[in-house]
Amino acid sequence: MKLATWNVNSLNVRLPHVLDWCTANQPDVLCLQETKQEDSKFPYEALTAIGYNAIHSGQKTYNGVAILSRHVLEHPSYGIPDFADEQKRLIAATVKGIRIVCAYIPNGQSVDSDKYQYKLNWLASLTTHLQAELAAHPKLALLGDYNIAPEDRDVHDPAAWLGQVLVSEPERTAFQGLVGLGLHDTFRLFEQPEASFSWWDYRMAGFRRNLGLRIDHILVSTPLLAACKASWIDKAPRKLERPSDHTPVVLELSE
DNA sequence: ATGGCGACCGGAGGTCGA
């Protein structure tokens, strides 16, 4: 069973890439972030045509999350309970007994902005919510754009990024709070190339020079650990014409 | 590295992302 996450930076623009990638890679589940479209615009028909069910929670211009699945999506839920939020950033469903949680964690903009406080509040609410979710669903995977590089090795230039948003200690502490729930960063369960990143700035030839960050993650609960077989970042879509600035992260589970 | 790109809305250029 193959799980994946991809911030597509507008599904309006990136739908051809998503269809091609799903056809070529056949993920069982693909979590999308930044669809940037209202539910009425979501391309259910095009996805059905290649064998995918989908649920979506979106809005115009910003945010928007979706779960695509080759299997039945049971018990969909939207948003964080008890956290009033106009921004569409969380969607979840159960696939083959695994609770799939797809998150677009706020960016935060800069550490001195209101958006940074919103990010930390959002993460605190998510953590509380996931504690209950884990009690109800021992097999759980949290996939998405975390907008946090958990360690210095996830940053192309840690000195330049020191203390900045995406890297700051409060954000990394929040990430460790998720780990503290009994979630595991599956990418690091396996040997990986040095300087492995999932996002590269469009500017300054960031991708060509590998000036990136690893901010897209797949965390799984302890009951799923033994099933983890491999994890990798697929850089191929980042090389296409008009790419997203993020690229897919994949986790392979044994059945 | 701090600007550079790209998406969006709106119909120019500001805002946001990361």
How big, in percent rounded to 5, are the helix, strand and coil portions of chain A?
Answer: 35, 30, 40
Q: Print the SS3 string covering A54-77.
A: EEEECCCCCCCEEEEECCCCEEEE
CA of A97 and C1' of B2: distance in angstroms?
A: 46
**Which candidate in A17, A28, A104, A146 is catalytic?**
A104
A170: buried, middle or exposed (CB in 10 Å: 19+, 13-18, 0-12)?
middle
**Is A28 annotated for ligand binding?**
no
**Is A112 a known active-site residue?**
no
The answer to whether A142 and A133 are in contact (CB under 8 A) is no
Q: Give the bridge partners for A212, in sequence order.
A: A200
pLDDT value at residue A218 = 98
Question: Residue A35's closest CA among A60, A59, A10?
Answer: A10
pLDDT value at residue A255 = 79
User: In b/e form, how buried is each residue of A175-185, taking b as 16+ CB within 10 angstroms?
Assistant: bebbeebbbbb
CA A188 to chain centre: 16
Each domain of chain A, given as residue ranges in start order, spans 2-253
List, in sequence order, the alpha helices (H) in A137-253: 158-161, 169-180
Strands A212-213 and A199-200: antiparallel
**Which candidate in A17, A56, A137, A246 is catalytic?**
A246
CA of A150 and C1' of B15: distance in angstroms?
A: 28
DSSP state of A250: E
Give residues lining strand B (CB < 7 Å).
Answer: A 7, 9-10, 12-13, 34, 36-37, 60-62, 106-107, 109-110, 115, 145, 147, 157, 160-161, 164-166, 199, 201-204, 211, 213, 215, 242, 245-246
The answer to whether A180 and A106 are in contact (CB under 8 A) is no
CA dihedral (A30, A35, A41, A46) in degrees, to 10, reads: -30
Query: Is the backbone of residue A210 left (phi > 0), alpha (psi -120 to 50) or beta?
Result: left
**Is A145 a known active-site residue?**
yes
Question: Residue A202's closest CA among A211, A189, A191, A192?
Answer: A211
CA of A60 and C1' of B10: distance in angstroms?
A: 14
pLDDT in tens, chain A (255 residues): 999 999 999 999 999 999 999 999 999 999 999 999 999 999 999 999 999 999 999 999 999 999 999 999 999 999 999 999 999 999 999 999 999 999 999 999 999 999 999 999 999 999 999 999 999 999 999 999 999 999 999 999 999 999 999 999 999 999 999 999 999 999 999 999 999 999 999 999 999 999 999 999 999 999 999 999 999 999 999 999 999 999 999 999 997
**Is A104 a known active-site residue?**
yes
**Is A245 annotated for ligand binding?**
yes
**Is A246 annotated for ligand binding?**
yes
Domain A2-253 - what CATH class? Answer: alpha beta
